[in-house]
Amino acid sequence: MSENLTPSGEPSYLQYKGRYRGIFAWIFSTDHKRVGLLYLWSIMTFFIVGAILGLLMKMELISPGKNIMGPQTYNGFFTLHGIIMIFLIVIPGLPAVFGNFFLPIMIGARDVAFPRLNLTSWWLYMLGAVVVLTSQFTGGGPPDTGWTFYAPYSFQTPTNMLPAVTGAFILGFSSILTGLNFIVTIHRMRAPGMSWFKMPLFPWSLYATAWIQVIATPIVGVTLLMIIAERTLNIGFFNPALGGDPILYQHLFWIYSHPAVYIMILPAMGAISEIIPTFSRKTIFGYKAIIASTVAIAFVGYFVWGHHMFTSGMSGVALYTFSILTFLVAIPSAIKVFNWVSTMHKASINLQTPFYWAVSFIFVFMIGGFSGLVLGALSTNVHLHDTHFVVAHFHFIVFGGTGFAFFGAMHYWFPKVFGRQYDAGWANIGWLTFFIGFVTLYGPMFYLGIAGMPRRYYDYVEVFHGGNIISSFGAIILIAGAGIIIANLVKSAIYGEEAKQNPWGGITLEWQVPSPPPLENFDEIPHITKGPYDYS
Amino acid sequence: MEHIPENTHIHRDDEASKIGMWLFIFTEMLLFGGLFIVYSIYRYLHPVAFELAADELDVAAGTINTVILLISSMTIAMSVSAIQKGDRKKTLMFLGATLFLALMFLVNKYFEWGSKISHGLYPGSDSLHELGHGDTLFFGLYYFMTGLHALHIIIGVVLIATVMYRVYKSRVREDKYALLENTGLYWHLVDLIWIFLFPLFYLVT
Amino acid sequence: MDNNGKPHIVPYKNHIAVLAVLLILTALSVAVTSIELGPLTVTVALLLATAKALVVLIYFMHLKFDNIIYSIMVAFVMFSIISIIVITFLDYLFR
């Protein structure tokens, strides 16, 4: 209880007793740290489901012909895999878990601006997840459109689209509330003395991300509503038979869903920008350049959606515009990579698991980014559109980028969140297995795509067999790695050694509060006088 | 909820609530912004049909609703001025007027939709499909956009009624009126959207 | 509330004046439709609607009296919406 708190004997956020007991002390808690952990558990649960779906698809693709599932099941699997991974995991991902937990602490606040809204957003997330998942068990069977719900198929398929689309709409609402909360928090609740340019880079990336969440998500919201109206009222918005234009659906869908890629990757970059200076024990190189590139990516990234539609029949002018804008996004992304690498230059690096994750993030992110340029060029895109090359590209960015950063952040902040240290040996083995599995799984897909293997088919011709065997074995290694990592983290959270307040020697604010932090984070709100990475 | 100890750290920050409300308004603008894209594309693709279909709509009904909404926007702005002066009675009076005008808007809308539907002009109807692609899309958008707008009016009615109750109970008062101010912002947003819906559907013939 | 904590109280008669302006603009936009302007009809209607929207934003929604940050945000969001529409039209205008 807040009235009998003392600086020494304060209960941590994990222990304090509120009004509710047991699980209710969590699911009704408005504490930003508990909400963050609620998201963590939910996301981890869904991740296991989504990863198993992915593994089963790879097992189907291990040899030509039908192995363990037929075409309709396969369509259902990649749809559900996409919906779960995109809407339930990587979009909330880092902002909802680590943003909720660390944004207030890193800017020196006691909580987010609207704690109840924050909890509401988790509840909406769970509601959306449940609604999406009911589509699997009711009505005309699992949706088979892919996570993009492309019209006109999405309102013609007999499968159970309505719950999937409604659920995605609710999840969008949850995402908007998180973004709104973060913007207000950053505007209103920074500690005294923390000017905009004394704010750490993770909060900066969350700020840019939050703006995308607020101004892009409503577009997909209304688009999903139109799909619902289309299915129930037969209005004809996207139905060519009634004068509608299916390509307009693609425009509207990608106006959100491309910026959504930046919702996924920007906080990941923010987390990497925290990890690298801490383990390099050095000021980050080009602090303001990283901020500028974050804002530039968020801004330009809002206007490049058309590169998902190069083969859909857009006008030439639109094709050139989108292609040029797409290439422009590469510039700020490269600036970040240069800054990270320059930070490590001549540093006495503390080689720990989070640092391995950060470096491997840079590696896979660059491969993903460069393959993105291949797809952003109009002539090569015609050849590679809807092949496995695209699958490899976005897995390198979304899974390699966001996923690696998520695990990196997980290890980096683990001692702070749980007050216990993970087992470093197993963590490193897990990282190595995961990394090898990742490259083995997605690397061959580049080759398969260039060779012409299309995506979203349960079957293929014999000539693609070799690459698929390697890829499928990669999937097994990757799942083994993920298993080691998760098992190690779960075990360490319960039985691990007690962690010190500042095990890595970090100097951002979260390392100046106890591990785990007390309910209100700070006894006294700190006064900020120095920049966030001032190691002098 | 007020008594949970962990909520002691929820500070009252009216400026924060206002930024939050504005951000919410931005999401609404983008929501309708998406629909305006659809409208403008289809108008570009079917210019003649859109002009002829707009002739079917009742300009008088649309104008009356515009005037109603504009006046209601003024009354709710006045209610904010009234609460700032600490005049509870006038606040309630202006909010009541806003509520009444909002309901008037809905009644008018009901009759307008009713007459269109009785002519067989509703989404998915055969007589609409016979009119051709442009008309189908125009009336599809008409029902979808004004319907979504009407939904926002209904939400606004609920909000205003809540605020009135809170003003009546003096929970919203001279030194604590963020809820009223934000409801006002929301109501102006509803007005703002109608300001664009009205010419695009009723006037541009 | 503005920054110094004192709310700016708008007098009732100012609200009435704002309403009068809005009603005049509405009457104007209805009257203009009877004139045959050809392709300019849409432009004129949108210009008048934008003028009305600005009046609502600046006076009723208090942008004039609030911190400049709100106006910057509104301008930024408006810019985004217009950019999206323009870029989408790059496809349809040149197909």
Residues B98-117: tens digit of each pLDDT: 999 999 999 999 999 999 99
**Contact of A183 with A113, CB cutoff 8 Å:** no
Single pTM value for the model? 0.94
Exposed (0-12), middle (13-18) or buried (19+): which is A534, by Cβ within 10 Å? Answer: exposed
d(CA C43, CA B131): 27
| Tens of pLDDT, residue by residue, chain A (536 residues) | 333 343 446 788 888 777 888 888 899 999 999 999 999 999 999 999 999 999 999 999 999 999 999 999 999 999 999 999 999 999 999 999 999 999 999 999 999 999 999 999 999 999 999 999 999 998 888 999 999 999 899 988 999 999 999 999 999 999 999 999 999 999 999 999 999 999 999 999 999 999 999 999 999 999 999 999 999 988 889 999 998 999 999 999 999 999 999 999 999 999 999 999 999 999 999 999 999 999 999 999 999 999 999 999 999 999 999 999 999 999 999 999 999 999 999 999 999 999 999 999 999 999 999 999 999 999 999 999 999 999 999 999 999 999 999 999 999 999 999 999 999 999 999 999 999 999 999 999 999 999 999 999 999 999 999 999 999 999 999 999 999 999 999 999 999 999 999 999 999 999 999 989 998 899 889 999 988 998 87
What pLDDT score was predicted for residue B11? 64
- A498 with A419: CB under 8 angstroms? yes
The C-alpha atoms of residue B65 and residue B68 are separated, in whole angstroms, by: 5
Q: What is the pLDDT of residues B131-151, one digit of tens each?
A: 889 999 999 999 999 999 999
Chains meeting B at 3+ CB pairs closer than 8 A? A, C
Whether B48 and B134 have beta carbons less than 8 Å apart is answered as: yes
Token output for A301: 């990234």
pLDDT of residue A82: 96
Report domain extents, chain A: 2-512
Sign of CA dihedral A356, A357, A360, A361: negative
Coil, helix or strand for A421?
strand
Asked if pLDDT for residue B1 goes beyond 50, the answer is no
pLDDT of B88 higher than 60: yes
CATH of the structural domain A2-512, one choice from 3.40.50.150, 2.40.30.10, 1.20.210.10, 1.10.3720.10: 1.20.210.10
% chain B with pLDDT above 90: 78
- Show the tokens assigned to A230: 């289309």
Q: How far apart are CA C77 and CA A528, in angstroms?
A: 32
Cis peptide upstream of residue A516 (ω within 30 degrees of 0): yes
Comparing CB atoms, the residue among B22, B63, B185 nearest residue C30 is: B63
Output DSSP code: residue B203. Answer: I
CB A420 within 8 A of CB A498: yes
CA distance A409 to A405: 6
CB atoms A251 and C88 under 8 Å: yes
User: In which band, very low, low, confident or very high, does the pLDDT at C2 lie, cut at 50, 70 and 90?
Assistant: very low
**3-class SS at B186?**
helix
The superfamily CATH assigns to domain B59-119+146-198 is: Cytochrome c oxidase, subunit III, four-helix bundle (1.20.120.80)
Q: Which runs of consecutive H residues, i.e. helices, occur in A281-352?
A: 287-300, 316-344
CB–CB of C15 and B40 under 8 A? no
Interval C42-46 mean pLDDT: 89
pLDDT at C6: 66
Rounded Cα distance between B174 and B82, Å, is 9
**A302 CA: distance to closest CA in chain B (Å):** 13
Query: Are the beta carbons of C91 and A303 separated by less than 8 Å?
Result: no
Closest CA to B73 of B97, B107, B103: B97
d(CA A269, CA A262): 10
pLDDT per position as a tens digit, B179-190: 999 999 999 999
Which of chain B's residues have a Cβ under 8 Å away from the Cβ of A214?
23, 26-27
DSSP labels for A167-207? HHHHHHHHHHHHHHHHHHHHHH-PPTT--GGGS-HHHHHHH
pLDDT band of residue C5 (cuts 50, 70, 90) is low
Q: Distance between CA B86 and CA B175 in Å, rounded?
A: 8
Residue C8 has pLDDT above 90, yes or no: no
Residue with tokens 């779906």: A53
Residue B203 has which token pair? 């006037």
| Cβ contact B204–C57 (<8 Å) | no
Confidence at residue A300, expressed as pLDDT on a 0 to 100 scale: 93
Q: Is B12 on the interface with A (CB under 8 A)?
A: no
Q: What's the sign of the alpha-carbon dihedral A334, A337, A338, A339?
A: positive
The residues, ordered by sequence, that sit 6+ positions from A299 with a Cβ below 8 Å of its Cβ are: none
C38 — alpha (psi -120 to 50), left (phi > 0) or beta? left
Chains touching chain A at 3 or more Cβ pairs under 8 angstroms?
B, C
pLDDT tens for A431-482 read 999 999 999 999 999 999 999 999 999 999 999 999 999 999 999 999 999 9
**What is residue B131's predicted lDDT score, i.e. its pLDDT?**
86
Q: What tokens does A187 get?
A: 């505007």
